[in-house]
């Protein structure tokens, strides 16, 4: 039973890593703002429930840039 749980956890982690990699590829196609979006995306991977204020502080990006990045991520 413990082995099954560990196996399932590893499968879930691998799936999430694949999704994150696919997301990064889509983000790279967004143009000039892609580098900022990638920074915000990484912040969200580290802390999935994050406020725009926290993301701005963590990333060093302006609040306006973070908000634009979040909007672009929603559109993907």
Helical packing angle, 34-46 and 52-59, nearest 10°: 110
Tens digits of residue pLDDT in 15-74:
999 999 999 999 999 999 999 999 999 999 999 999 999 999 999 999 999 999 999 999
Higher pLDDT, 2 or 70: 70
Q: Determine if the pTM surpasses 0.75.
A: yes
Domain that holds residue 10: 2-75
Tens digit of each residue's pLDDT (9 = 90 or more) over 20-31:
999 999 999 999
Q: How far is CA 69 from CA 19, 62, 65, in A?
A: 18, 11, 6
Number of domains in the chain: 1
Spatial distance between the Cα atoms of 15 and 11, rounded to a whole number of angstroms: 6
Q: From CA 16, how far away is CA 44, in angstroms rounded?
A: 13
């Amino acid at each position: 039973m413990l082995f099954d749980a560990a196996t399932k956890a590893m499968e879930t982690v691998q799936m999430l890593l694949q999704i994150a990699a696919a997301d990064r590829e889509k983000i790279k196609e967004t143009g000039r703002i892609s580098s900022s979006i990638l920074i915000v995306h990484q912040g969200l991977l580290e802390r999935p429930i994050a406020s725009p204020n926290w993301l701005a502080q963590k990333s060093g990006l302006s609040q306006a840039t973070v908000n634009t990045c979040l909007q672009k991520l929603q559109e993907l």
